[in-house]
Chain A
Amino acid sequence: MIKRIVLYIGNPAHSGTLKKLSYVALGLTVAADFLVQREHAMYIWDKIPGWGALYGFVSCVVIVLVSKFIGHKCGVMRGEDYYND
């Protein structure tokens, strides 16, 4: 059972279906965010529907780009034999 699901997900032939399912999940998440009650909101952004989705996406892009910039441009990433010890 577990094995079948994993094999299904891993099979490149099903990537189109999985993609569609993912888009549905993304859409549903945002839609649900419009429907829930927000009596616990502490800050202004907590009151904006879809804030989580936006912040998650922006965070992801910022983290990847900033990290790669630091890694490549600031000399953090080095060859594997850098320490050579």
Chain B
Amino acid sequence: MTDWFHPSVFYIFGAALIPFLRGKVRNAYLMLIPLLGVASVFAMSSGTFWSWDFLGTVLTFGAVDKLSIVFGWVFTIMSFIGIVYALHVNDQGQHVAAFLYVGGALGVTFAGDYLTLFVFWELMAFASAYLVFARREPAAIRAGYRYLLVHTFGGVCLLGGIILHYLSTKSMVVGPLDHDGSLAFYMMLVGVMINAAVPPLHAWLTDAYPEGTVTGSVFMSAFTTKTAVYVLVRIFPGTELLVYLGTIMALYGVVYAVLENDCRRLLAYHIISQVGYMVAGVGIGTEMSLNGSVSHAFAHILYKGLLFMGAGAVIEMTGRRKLTELGGLYRTMPITLVLYMIGGFAISAFPLFSGFVTKSMVIAGASHDHRPLVALFLTMASAGTFLHTGLKLPYYMFFGKDSGLEAKEPPLNMLIAMGMAAFMCIGIGVLPGPLYNLLPYPVHFNAYTGDHVTSALGILLFTGLGFFMLLKKLDPEPTISIDTDWVYRKGSRVFMWLANKPLAVGDTYVGNVYDTWFTRFTLFFSGFLARVVDVKGIDGAVNGVAHFFIGLAGMLRVTASGLVRNYAATMLIGVVVILGCYLFASLMSL
């Protein structure tokens, strides 16, 4: 008990007190909980803690090793930054939901059995959905319901896989699954892939994240996909399919980001792209690539949080979210711009920023595993990352044509939170050692070799050249892009149309056929039964039996004459007949 304390306890039980606090006390309390979380991760060492028997299985809340500790670190740090960013928000429900969400993510991270993992997994889905609902606009509420439905489906897949896995192995212990191609394996994989936003199961992310509250989306950008990456690293290392899906993801997000006009949706597509690197790293499955995935998840949570905070600050101060309606904000929001750009450089993997020391580890992992095409495509995607997050979005938001918006810098707490994330992005980039020491496997990798630095700079700066040459083509357009959420957004309409039109018509037709044929035939048949079978058959049989017994009784009545000699003669005949039968039987048996 004293060896280890579950950080989720602070978040989940601590959240219950938030609605009763106000003002500075509440703000201090909101910051205290993540700090306690960080402290509990700091005090952790590997081992198994908090195991209990429950209905014949062992529930383990504290399976602690290097992999879970590194995710514990980044989740608790990000929760502190995220809550500082949200301190000005007076909607208590959002703070409660955010803490439950973080508690769920940490619960998954330290879960030692699948049942515990699943329960925390679902807690995350429901708590995070509230962060979308909390914007309280019709579009947000609809997106929230879609988000919830997709995650419920994913949860059911995961649970189904867990049950099948348990039935075949009798084990609930979380660990690498056999690549046996069983239904259990694929159901669990699909359940986790939905949360990791692997195409074609990704559209919930770009649907819901831009609809969340300004502060809620910062939390969302950090936890759901990265918890799924953690589970992938834990359960599915070396799954070949993930190499291809991850590489496709990295490019898929980049392509859609070109077309996107909503600033947070553009960033959401880049979450998909960046998680693609991590998924590919898990698929490659070597120590170097798994280290790459984990470290990239760590860096990604911080720089993506920073980017969402920057875009959120602009939305908060201007009320606009479309690039076509923004522009020229550099004059009024210079500090926001600079902090955003630090996130932009980090995600683009500029030397001295965090992405450089983590993303390159995934790409090097692909190269060392002799996958030149994967390495080339992932490098291409990183050019696309800089193109959008580092160039297109800031250009059209802060420079470009002047939108004439009267904005000012966001509240101090938002700037401080962004400053902390920016500090981490640069700190990891300049001194990767502490992060490398946290990684699950020993690191034999140095990002800062001369040729790596110059080639990375070449890729990025010449991407910039391409951007300014193609600037006319890149002007944002006031459109939305069809993605795989079309299937359930339009598909549900097709279903309703099917239900209303062809099915209704068919129903009437079948009804008519039923009336015309079945009912009429049934009536005719029952008429036949009534007229013929009932009258002639059943009544006839009953009446016939009655008539027979009446006749028999009449005959018997004649024999009962009352004369003794007649009775005596009858008895004598009877005795003679019985004796005759007996004699005949005896003679036959001789």
A residues near B, CB below 8 A?
2-3, 6-7, 9-10, 22, 25-26, 29-30, 32-33, 35-38, 40-43, 46, 50-57, 59-68, 70-71, 75-80, 82-83, 85
Whether a CB of chain A sits under 8 angstroms from the CB of B258 is yes
- A23 CB, min distance to chain B CBs, angstroms: 9
- Give the complex CA separation of A83 and B142 in angstroms: 12
- How far apart sit A75 and B463, CA to CA, in the bound complex (Å)? 27
Number of interface residues of B (CB under 8 A): 54
Identify which of A35, A50, A59 contacts B380 (C-beta below 8 A): A59
Contact of A64 with B259 in the complex, beta carbons under 8 Å: no
Say yes or no: A53-B458 contact (C-beta < 8 A), given A43-B367, A67-B258. yes
- B364-381 vs A, CB cutoff 8 Å, 1 = contact: the mask equals 000110001001100110
Task: Looking at the assembled complex, report how far the CB atom of A64 sits from the nearest CB atom of chain B, in whole angstroms.
Answer: 5
New A-B contacts (15) at CB < 8 Å, excluding given A29-B458, A78-B480: A6-B337, A9-B330, A33-B451, A36-B449, A36-B453, A38-B451, A53-B462, A59-B379, A61-B466, A64-B473, A71-B258, A75-B482, A79-B479, A80-B479, A85-B489
Shortest Cβ distance from B359 into chain A, in angstroms? 14
Instruction: Write the nearest CB–CB distance from B456 to chain A, whole angstroms.
Output: 7
Contact of B334 among A2, A36, A50, A67 (CB under 8 A): A2
- Do residues A7 and B462 form an inter-chain contact, with CB atoms below 8 A? no
* Distance from A79 Cβ to chain B, minimum over Cβ atoms (Å): 7
Contact partners of A30 in chain B: CB under 8 A:
458
B543 beta carbon closer than 8 Å to chain A: no
List 12 A–B pairs whose Cβ atoms lie within 8 Å, in order of A's numbering.
Answer: A7-B334, A10-B399, A26-B465, A40-B452, A42-B367, A51-B455, A56-B460, A57-B465, A62-B380, A71-B259, A77-B481, A80-B480
Closest chain B residue to A57 by CB distance? B462
Contacts from B to A (Cβ < 8 Å): 142, 254-256, 258-259, 330-331, 334-335, 337-338, 367-368, 372, 375-376, 379-380, 383-384, 387, 398-399, 449-467, 470, 473-474, 477-482, 489-490
- In the complex, the answer to whether B450 meets A37 with C-beta atoms within 8 Å is yes
A33 and B463 alpha carbons, distance in the complex (Å): 16
Determine the chain B residues whose CB is within 8 A of the CB of A46 once the complex forms: 451, 455
**A29, B457: Cα distance in complex, Å:** 7
Chain A: CB-nearest residue to B328: A10
**What's the least CB distance linking B530 to chain A, in Å?**
58
Kindly list chain B residues whose C-beta atoms are within 8 Å of the C-beta of A78.
479-482
Complex contact B461–A25 (CB within 8 A): yes
Q: How far is the CA of A19 from the CA of B473 in the complex (A)?
A: 20
State how many angstroms separate the Cβ of B572 from the closest Cβ of chain A: 106
B341's nearest neighbour on chain A, judged by CB, is: A6
Assembled-state Cα–Cα distance A43/B255 (Å): 27
Residue pair A76, B384 in contact (C-beta under 8 Å): no
In-complex Cβ contact of A71 among B399, B478, B481 (8 A): B481
Q: Which of B372, B379, B399, B462 contacts A26 (CB 8 A)?
A: B462
Whether A56 contacts B461 in the complex (CB less than 8 A), given A43-B367, A61-B470, A64-B474, comes out as: yes
Shortest distance from the beta carbon of B288 to any chain A beta carbon, whole Å: 13
> A56 to nearest B CB, angstroms?
3
Given A2-B335, A83-B489, also A77-B461 (CB < 8 A)? no
- A43 CB contacts on chain B under 8 angstroms: 367, 372, 375
5 nearest A-B pairs in the assembled complex, by CB-CB distance: A52-B458, A60-B466, A52-B455, A56-B459, A36-B450
Complex contact B383–A29 (CB within 8 A):
no
Q: Which residues of B contact A41 (CB under 8 A)?
A: 451
Q: Please, how many angstroms separate the alpha-carbon atoms of A8 and B91 in the complex? A: 39
Interchain CB contact under 8 A, B477 and A77: yes
Q: Are A56 and B463 in contact (CB under 8 A)?
A: yes
- Smallest distance from the beta carbon of B381 to chain A beta carbons, Å? 8
Q: Are A59 and B383 in contact (CB under 8 A)?
A: yes
